Structure 1
């Protein structure tokens, strides 16, 4: 039986690698809300819907200097950006142009049918003052909904939005970096939010801006958005997660460079979001390059939206904890994740290439995770890690209110090479819910410091390398 399973999987992967690449833009873009809408077809080993994204190339330009932006003047520049965004939105499509120069700004709130475009030499420098990100907005903290400081760039319930160009988005970190530590006041606020979410307290009553919470905002959050393009820009520094698609769908992130080495500085956190392509990007992170999430505990069970149909390809990770992390906030479920043709820099300080993590509070599910053709140098831990008891600081901070285990199955890794690892795979399931069907094909390391595989409670593990 085990041999049959492996052969079927091998045929599946060979078919995948030989599939025709149809990941080109549709030659006949449609019109929607006055904009051209392009459909991107993406090769994937699962049913991947075409991704619809906006094309602003023929829309009107709104240059911020025409509306009062002044170099070095935070208030005038912020007002000018918001004026240009409002006009582009009312025009049913427009490009808000940030010209060359360093433009100091407060929070930017996008609207539907707006492309924020940074020309060569343009830097949008985001203020370090927390009060510049008030009033609080409907956001999240580590998988729980709340009202918090506005993300530096925030789009809520928008469609047809884009951030493009060869310029730079940069966060001043003077204050945010002092909030990286987790003192007693912060931890007490975490407990309060945890219990509010568990008790289904209305989100508008979860006001988490006060003197001690210090919940840092995301850099870019697309919250409940559709048809999103993020292309070409460089992002430097971030208070928290860098790019956060939340409850959103139809997203392309292309040719973006991220450098963010602060606390919790993931590159992209697709959370309860669907139909996403991440390609040709460079990630230099203080945390995971990509961390797929789907909410935490009761909040995610209420929202009931899985993260699914996510493709990452042709990316370079210069540094980060994981190339691809799944969880631990995965209570809405995660399925159909495909990573291919990517590299990890030889000197990157990686923990794993792929790490799936959950705990007894999460529920949800993980299935159909496929990773192919990855090159890496030394990895501190291993190529694949799966753990079902990851709680970090939460273990002793708050109790388990409702116990729900996470079924994990159908994980396929192929054609992966690392130079030096502690182990190839470490898979720690639970006796009452073993992990099912993990296949490693041509997954190798030059040096294995401990042992090839460290496993507990797994059914149908297959490899051709032992």
Structure 2
């Protein structure tokens, strides 16, 4: 064994060492404890680690006191603007020490709703909130984040900043009413030349307070609690967001339970926790025009400035229909992502382009460490079960090589899939450890499996079309 066998000196090692010497973000600790134990012992240890995360996610504390929006002048005719009435109800509940703002059965037109501490927005059975598509209604701008970069932008449809103990509950419908004729018409412009021009100003040092997103066709998210603690979104249905549906950012203790997300519009991701710690996504149904779940932690230079990981996330008992990816990590992941557990899931559409998707490049940097997706029942999927793509977006054109390792799939029962895995690292920055265990695909694949530039790919009891791999 020569020296290069015992220590592989690559561009990744050199650049990471240079980053540390230069005083940038420190490397993440090597995962130990729950994730490492799970690797050794299998699903049982992963369940124990996931259970600890679930037990640690705190629910909001909201007094049992109701404030009907009709008492504040709201009218359920589907056209009257109830923004002021809803705002007054939220303020009254907050100032009284907290309570539940109740939207009863009926169709209620509104603009943005800003939640305050200890306030629950309860959308009752038979109630529909119709959100305006007039961009002027979402001004003045608020502190937000767009594709991983902080800025001042149009208000999300439901927003909270620096609050605690907030909730959206009920069994009603929240309809963003976005369409190709309204918000979605901005998709190509905001995601292309506008973003390039905007990011150039950010990289030049423009302060957040001066970053005006309204000049760049940046659509707002549907629900965005920002720097909040103890957030609950439960029972309601969302459809047709202008942009991402659920975007908790820099939050602690987030629960999304029993929710339905439905949209086929561009960039209408289902749930995108960003730089959060302690997230439970439970019994959610996703059918989206982009990633069903996309876990994020900031983008490029601005993501490294904030430098907060997204971690301790459990996704369970949920169903995935159409989407670019089921459980996705990245591509905005410059602050790093760790400790992600997905269990007891179903994927049932050829419109789902990948099951577990990790997308990154050497411009993003950051790390993806310790993901465990297991006990998954796949009726059909239109792409690979596992996709690890280092060539996403800008590809290998930066100086921040990503770290991707400890990626685990276990106990997948698959009726039909186009591909088992597509894993592509860089020659001088390979993917680390990837393990597939007890994965069975009943039929033949449409596309051969790919594993390029992977340090450690382990296959244990992987059977495709009756053939052990």
1:182 matched residue in structure 2: 188
Q: Which moved more, 1:64-73 or 1:444-453?
A: 444-453
Tell me if structure 2 keeps the 8 A contact 1:424–1:444. no
Q: 1:285 to 1:74 in 2, by over 3 A?
A: same
Cα distance in structure 2, aligned partners of 1:425 and 1:276: 27
Cα distance in structure 1, aligned partners of 2:223 and 2:373: 26
Tell me if structure 1 keeps the 8 A contact 2:419–2:449. yes
Tell me if structure 2 keeps the 8 A contact 1:200–1:299. no
Greater strand percent: which structure? 1
2:247 matched residue in structure 1: 244
Q: TM-score, normalised by structure 2?
A: 0.86
Q: 1:379 to 1:348 in 2, by over 3 A?
A: closer
Give the CA deviation at 1:377: 2.5
Equivalences for residues 221-300 of structure 1 within 5 A: 221-300=224-303
2:445 matched residue in structure 1: 449
Tell me if structure 2 keeps the 8 A contact 1:143–1:294. yes
Tell me if structure 2 keeps the 8 A contact 1:305–1:332. yes
2:336 matched residue in structure 1: 333
Please point out which of 191, 213, 222 is paired with 1:219.
222
Please point out which of 348, 351, 359 is paired with 1:349.
351
Q: Which moved more, 1:429-438 or 1:329-338?
A: 429-438
Cα distance in structure 2, aligned partners of 1:352 and 1:438: 16
Structure 1 unpaired stretches of 5+: 1-6, 20-42
2:45 matched residue in structure 1: 16
Instruction: Report SS of the residue matched to 2:366.
Output: coil
Cα distance in structure 1, aligned partners of 2:73 and 2:210: 37
Instruction: Report SS of the residue matched to 1:378.
Output: strand
Tell me if structure 2 keeps the 8 A contact 1:273–1:307. yes
Cα distance in structure 1, aligned partners of 2:187 and 2:237: 27
1:166-187 deviation per Cα after TM superposition (whole angstroms, max 9, x unaligned): 111011225435524424x873
1:377 matched residue in structure 2: 379
- RMSD of aligned Cα (Å): 2.2
Structure 2 unpaired stretches of 5+: 1-35, 463-468
Q: 1:341 to 1:47 in 2, by over 3 A?
A: closer
Work out whether 1:302 is the aligned partner of 2:305. Answer: yes
1:365 matched residue in structure 2: 367
Tell me if structure 2 keeps the 8 A contact 1:107–1:132. yes
Cα distance in structure 2, aligned partners of 1:154 and 1:221: 5
Q: 1:154 to 1:74 in 2, by over 3 A?
A: farther
Cα distance in structure 1, aligned partners of 2:83 and 2:375: 44
Give the CA deviation at 1:194: 0.9
Cα distance in structure 2, aligned partners of 1:128 and 1:236: 14
Q: Which moved more, 1:144-153 or 1:331-340?
A: 144-153
Work out whether 1:387 is the aligned partner of 2:389. Answer: yes
Cα distance in structure 1, aligned partners of 2:184 and 2:416: 35
Equivalences for residues 196-211 of structure 1 within 5 A: 196-210=201-215
Give the CA deviation at 1:403: 1.7
Work out whether 1:418 is the aligned partner of 2:414. Answer: yes
Tell me if structure 2 keeps the 8 A contact 1:16–1:45. no
Give the CA deviation at 1:50: 0.7
1:51 matched residue in structure 2: 57
Equivalences for residues 98-109 of structure 1 within 5 A: 98-109=103-114
Equivalences for residues 29-108 of structure 1 within 5 A: 44=50, 50-56=56-62, 58-72=63-77, 77-108=82-113
Cα distance in structure 2, aligned partners of 1:180 and 1:286: 15
Tell me if structure 2 keeps the 8 A contact 1:68–1:76. no
Please point out which of 169, 174, 177 is paired with 1:169.
174
